[in-house]
Amino acid sequence: MSALKKNALKKREGWNSRLGVILAVAGSAVGLGNFLRFPSQAVGNGGGAFMIPYFLAFIFLGIPLMWIEWTVGRYAGRFGHGTAPGAFHRLWQNRWIKYIGIIGIFGPLVIYVYYTYIESWLLAYAFFSATKSYFGLTTAGALGGFLQNYQGLTPGSTLWAAYVFFLLTFLANIYVLRRGVSGGIEKLARLGMPLLLVVAVVLLARIFTLGAPDPAQPDWSIWNGLGFLWNPDFPRLLDASVWLAAAGQIFFSLSIGIGVILSYASYLKPKDDVVLSGLTSASVNEFFEVIFGGSLVIPAAFAFFGPLAITSVVKSGMFNLSFVTMPLIFQQIPLGSVFATLWFILLFVAGITSSVSVALPLISFLEDEFHCSKARAVRIFGWVAFVLCQPMIFFLGHGVLDEVDFWGGTFFLTVFGLIETVLFVWVFGLDKAWDEMHRGAHIGIPRIYRFIIKYITPTALLLIVGSWFWQQAVPVFLMRNIPVADRPYILAARLGMILVFAALAALVRIAWKHKKPGGGK
């Protein structure tokens, strides 16, 4: 190994402790997806019956991909790569595969761009709750108006408050990232995850002691609210979209299939365990999702609005649940401002431990492949992300955020997951893959997973991706479901994304040009 190469490898950072990396991965996974997306998905897709495809997706897609990504990341890190272009190229010495790996930088960047903006609303609402700014607005319409006003969507409203909170949130992310993997991300997770647990338990205790808050409606109780969420509607299982929704939720919630866990794992040492750590972080996510995600918003909304209104409340979307329904509820309970502030702090902390994770791939890429210093890599990332965030802020009303969420947060997750699985298990080879997973492992993976990882995971992923192309590709590409007035904005967003992808491709090309031929990198 040349001295230069050795230097490049030595310079990579690392995690401080095993617990730290597990918490950081769990921090990435536990996010808005757990507290808002999960309950809305469950209610909209068969209630308790949703848990069947959800659980199967966890066993056959979630856990395998968690292990695969931890292993591929740790393996790539050994060669000084922290992102998918280098990782994929290590798994398969094909000159094109590194370009496919760009999805593993592009997808997270796209998620970062809209996720941080939403995160900033949470910070703002924590502030509004503490100062009781929206207290006194006691109808869904009035609170919806308050939110739209804040987002600059109503005539005459200004965006300055939203912009200030966005800047604060953005800078907080940059601060953590600048402090590095162990000094920033790991520390944040060590602080944030226990805080999340405490706040979630406090909120849960508060909501479960509400009983039936309306004396005139003794049936509108928290327990019946739980029943509403978990009552299985089995015939819905015949609907393929319910299965797709379950798989999509597992992917988004676990942060798998997009290259983020891969980047985190690249900072492990070659013999650090990945099997138990991967399983633990996935389990922590499920605990937060099913226990807290499933017990806070929906039962509370049921208890206050009753069985008739709840369906329309849920249908109004996860943002309404968080920014309209919960504020309505908190205004009706003693110390409501305190609990509302806690609710938004919970979501904000869950959000920031996730958003720093989606920022890391591009930063690692600049450090690893261009040997940028941390300061420089974070600065470049910061400016690029800052510019890309602007359309989210200013064109929110035209569906731009939903559009990038679809590509970054849904579509590319399964596509990347499929490619990664096939590469690791079929191209790199199952036997080598199995050995690699077990290097330094604290537990063995049940042998049945050899079969699952080789056949079931890729087949299920292929079915998901294939059925999307079959059913939805044409209307999505032709923007059939998008109002005509918004189409220019959506088209611009798509063009923007293509440009970002092309720019990353150019960077990959430049980086690899400077690598020694035959070096295998």
Site string for ligand PFF, 265-294 (x = CB under 6 A): ------------------------------
Ramachandran region, residue 132 (left: φ > 0; alpha: ψ -120 to 50; beta: rest): left
Query: Which residues does 321 contact at the CB level (< 8 Å), separation at least 6?
Result: 36, 39, 40, 297, 301, 313, 314
**Shortest Å, Cβ 35 to ligand PFF:** 8
Query: Does residue 260 bind ligand PFF (CB under 6 A)?
Result: yes
Tokens of 202: 């406090």
Using the minimum distance from each CB to ligand PFF, give the nearer residue, 25 or 143: 25
Using the minimum distance from each CB to ligand PFF, give the nearer residue, 151 or 255: 255
Rg (CA), the chain: 23
Q: Minimal CA–CA distance to 348: which of 142, 130, 105, 178? A: 130
Give CA–CA dist 311/313, Å, rounded: 5
Query: Does residue 414 bind ligand PFF (CB under 6 A)?
Result: no
Q: Which stretch binds ligand PFF (CB under 6 A): 23-31, 149-157, 318-326, 373-381?
A: 23-31
For ligand PFF, the binding residue among 32, 126, 385, 433 (CB under 6 A) is 32
Query: Does residue 29 bind ligand PFF (CB under 6 A)?
Result: yes
Q: Which stretch binds ligand PFF (CB under 6 A): 41-49, 132-140, 255-263, 326-334?
A: 255-263
For ligand PFF, the binding residue among 34, 281, 331, 421 (CB under 6 A) is 34
Q: Which stretch binds ligand PFF (CB under 6 A): 42-50, 248-256, 273-281, 462-470?
A: 248-256
Using the minimum distance from each CB to ligand PFF, give the nearer residue, 242 or 254: 254
Query: Does residue 196 bind ligand PFF (CB under 6 A)?
Result: no
Using the minimum distance from each CB to ligand PFF, give the nearer residue, 228 or 251: 251
Helix intervals (H) in 407-486: 412-421, 430-438, 448-451, 457-471, 473-477
Contacts with ligand PFF: how many residues (CB under 6 A)? Answer: 16
Query: Does residue 252 bind ligand PFF (CB under 6 A)?
Result: yes
**Shortest Å, Cβ 294 to ligand PFF:** 14
Site string for ligand PFF, 101-140 (x = CB under 6 A): -------x--x-----------------------------
Using the minimum distance from each CB to ligand PFF, give the nearer residue, 174 or 328: 174
Give CA–CA dist 65/191, Å, rounded: 27
Q: Is 113 exposed, middle or buried (0-12, 13-18, 19+ CB in 10 A)?
A: buried
Give me the long-range contacts of 378-387 (CB less than 8 A, separation at least 24).
378/174, 378/177, 378/178, 381/177, 382/170, 382/174, 384/109, 385/109, 385/112, 385/113, 385/116, 385/170, 385/359, 386/170
What 3 state SS string does 233-251 have? CHHHHHCHHHHHHHHHHHH
Query: Does residue 258 bind ligand PFF (CB under 6 A)?
Result: yes
Give CA–CA dist 273/441, Å, rounded: 4
**Shortest Å, Cβ 44 to ligand PFF:** 17
Query: Does residue 322 bind ligand PFF (CB under 6 A)?
Result: no
Query: Does residue 28 bind ligand PFF (CB under 6 A)?
Result: yes
For ligand PFF, the binding residue among 8, 21, 33, 295 (CB under 6 A) is 33
Give CA–CA dist 164/167, Å, rounded: 5
**Shortest Å, Cβ 520 to ligand PFF:** 28
Alpha carbon 169 to chain centroid, angstroms: 17
Query: Does residue 361 bind ligand PFF (CB under 6 A)?
Result: no
3-state secondary structure of 129: helix
- For the stretch 268-303, what's the b/e string if a residue is b when 16 or more beta carbons lie within 10 angstroms of its beta carbon? beeebbbbebbbbbbebbbbbbbebbbbbbbbbbbb
Q: Which stretches of the chain bind ligand PFF, using CB under 6 A? A: 28-29, 31-34, 108, 111, 252-253, 255, 258, 260, 354, 357-358
